């Protein structure tokens, strides 16, 4: 059961983007597993990808195509990651692009392929040959919810968000979908996100906008510390709105940046709320650090501790596990200055248990579905926030039976 997350009843269409989703038989369940996004010719596209060295074949091909042409289509399959498949996987990813190009009269390198699912299995191209013509025929402006469902694997809920803002008196629409529940610690897990807006913006600023948004959202979450071979996040700007193109980092750009940040943060947090087997949503805040890097290092050490995560699942206020994680984070610190909090309850200060802390206070916080753990290092002015989940019996079951 996802923590504090509901499926969107509606996602707003973005002028210049059409999408479709069908069941091509890639998933044995018969659920939708092949998704297509079509972008208007005026569109610009920015993307960030996994930093896993064993990146999947579609990641390799998508990077190549993005660097050589302006994309017109995004082709996504779920149920098979096409990762760890060598040259055969590269050839298969290229072939899926060629099949779509033949059905749409675009260039092969105007197609960006994406895959998510089981690693190490070859794509069955016969399913793509049969399904792609039907997929193209179903393209529609209002199919975002279908597309969001089509990219899901172990997700229990559709993850999507829409927002509208005003630039130069013109209403601008943003809509995005994401998927991910496990193998989540992006470095741009198994994570995919696709966001579109009808705003008009230069390529340089679009790239900057996406990188900024990703750093504070998808690069600030973890379920299990595993960076997927297939991570990707794409931001499309169709330029269909009638305002003047955004070419400078002024007020209009910041309005758009804030909107993209909001969409990305919601989608990133939705991944944690729907983490595999998650029963709690945890916010980790590290403040007054010497640098953002050290703050993130402390936060991720806590988030990746199996002992902390299992205590969270058990609602056990075993604060010693958090203290131990902070101490082994590899960050220089004065332990007498450190303060640890569960929500607003101070549990550690002056090198040990806070004199005011009671077990009842800790138990009350740990019994909540949503908890904030704060670490005040009292070193400097830097800070970092990341989001994570607990570690439950269900997480083990899901991943033990993933290929069954």
Q: In degrees, to the nearest 5, what angle opens at C-alpha 356 toward C-alphas 350 and 360?
A: 125
Task: List the one residue out of 97, 88, 46 whose CA is nearest residue 70.
Answer: 46
Selecting among 96, 153, 190, 388, the annotated active-site residue is 190
| Residues 58, 49: Cα–Cα separation, whole Å | 11
CA separation (Å) from 282 to 26, 224, 302? Answer: 34, 13, 11
Query: How far is CA 166 from each of CA 14, 81, 176, 194, 252, rounded to the nearest angstrom?
Result: 14, 39, 18, 22, 9
90 vs 247: CA distance, rounded Å: 36
The dihedral sign for the CA sequence 217, 72, 68, 85: positive
The tokens describing 403, both together, are 């290929």
When computed from its CA atoms, the radius of gyration of the chain, rounded to whole angstroms, is 22
Q: Beta 232-237 vs 281-289: how paired, if at all?
A: unpaired
∠ Cα 401 402 404 (to 5°) = 60
**Catalytic residue list contains 372:** no
CB proximity list for 73: less than 8 A, separation 6 or greater: 36, 37, 38, 39, 100, 104, 106, 110, 111, 112
Q: For residues 20 and 128, what is the distance between their CA atoms, to the nearest angstrom?
A: 14
Q: What are 179's strand-pairing partners? A: 192
Q: State residue 261 phi and psi, 5-degree precision.
A: -55, -45
CA proximity to 227, closest of 48, 80, 97, 375 = 48
Residues taking part in catalysis: 190
């Amino acid at each position: 059961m996802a923590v504090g997350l509901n499926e969107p009843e509606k996602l707003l269409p973005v002028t210049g983007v059409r999408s479709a989703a069908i069941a091509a038989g890639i998933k044995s369940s018969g659920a939708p597993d092949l998704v297509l996004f079509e972008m208007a010719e005026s569109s610009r596209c920015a993307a960030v990808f996994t930093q896993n060295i064993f990146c999947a074949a579609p990641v390799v091909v998508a990077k190549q195509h993005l660097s050589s042409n302006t994309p017109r289509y995004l082709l996504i399959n779920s149920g098979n990651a096409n990762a760890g498949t060598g040259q055969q996987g590269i050839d298969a990813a290229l072939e899926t692009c060629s099949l779509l190009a033949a059905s749409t009269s675009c260039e092969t390198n105007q197609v960006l392929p994406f895959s998510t699912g089981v690693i190490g299995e070859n794509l069955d191209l016969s399913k793509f040959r049969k399904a792609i013509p039907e997929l193209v025929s179903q393209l529609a402006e209002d199919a975002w919810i279908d597309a969001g469902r089509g990219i899901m694997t172990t997700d229990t809920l559709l993850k999507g968000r829409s927002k509208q803002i005003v630039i130069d008196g013109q209403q601008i629409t943003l809509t995005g979908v994401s998927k991910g529940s496990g193998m989540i610690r992006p470095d741009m897990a198994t994570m995919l996100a696709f966001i579109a807006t009808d705003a008009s913006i230069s390529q340089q600023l679009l790239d900057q906008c996406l990188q900024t948004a990703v750093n504070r959202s998808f690069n600030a979450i973890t379920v299990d510390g595993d960076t997927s071979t297939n991570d990707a996040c794409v931001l499309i700007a169709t330029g269909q709105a009638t305002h003047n193109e955004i070419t400078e980092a002024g007020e209009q750009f910041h309005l758009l940046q804030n909107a993209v940040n909001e969409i990305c943060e919601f989608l990133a947090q939705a991944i944690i709320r729907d983490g595999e087997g998650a029963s709690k949503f945890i916010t980790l805040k590290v403040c007054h650090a010497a640098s953002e890097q050290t703050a993130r290092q402390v936060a991720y050490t806590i988030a990746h501790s199996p002992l902390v995560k299992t205590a969270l699942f058990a609602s056990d206020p075993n604060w010693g596990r958090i203290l131990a994680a902070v101490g082994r984070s590899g960050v220089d610190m004065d332990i007498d200055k450190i303060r640890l909090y569960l929500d607003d309850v101070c549990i550690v200060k002056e090198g040990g248990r806070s004199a005011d802390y009671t077990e009842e206070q800790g138990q009350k916080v740990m019994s909540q579905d949503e908890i904030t753990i704060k670490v005040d290092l009292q070193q400097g002015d830097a800070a970092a926030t990341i989001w994570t989940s607990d570690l439950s019996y269900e997480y083990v079951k899901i991943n033990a039976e993933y290929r069954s």
